[in-house]
Amino acid sequence: MTDDSELGHAIKVKILMFGPLAENVGAREIEVALEEGTTVMQLAERFQLVNMIDSGLRVAIDGTITSNLESMLKDAAEIAFLPPVSGG
């Protein structure tokens, strides 16, 4: 018999990708199941976005921009990856 406290619980989050990120991933919205305790940085690693963070990629959780990439994601959260805006 397995003790439930040893098993990780799953959460589901919605990811929004904009601009070239959506083109690279092939979708603007993605729902993914993650292990409870997953951080924003771990999610960025999963989608190979870490290098873009140093180039100005911003992250919003439930509509609020965050700079704390070690914050843990909550069930039903909406995470938006916002590429840097360029223009002239």
CATH code: domain of residue 17: 3.10.20.30
Average pLDDT over residues 23-51: 94
User: Is this prediction's pTM over 0.75?
Assistant: yes
pLDDT of residue 4: 47
24 in a domain, yes or no?
yes
Domain assignment present for residue 5? The answer is no
Q: Yes or no: say if 22 and 31 are a contact pair by the CB < 8 Å rule.
A: no
**Count of structural domains within the chain:** 1
Which pLDDT score is estimated for 86? 63
For residue 72, tell me if it sits in a domain.
yes
Residue range(s) defining the domain that contains residue 41: 10-82
Residue 1 lies in a domain: no
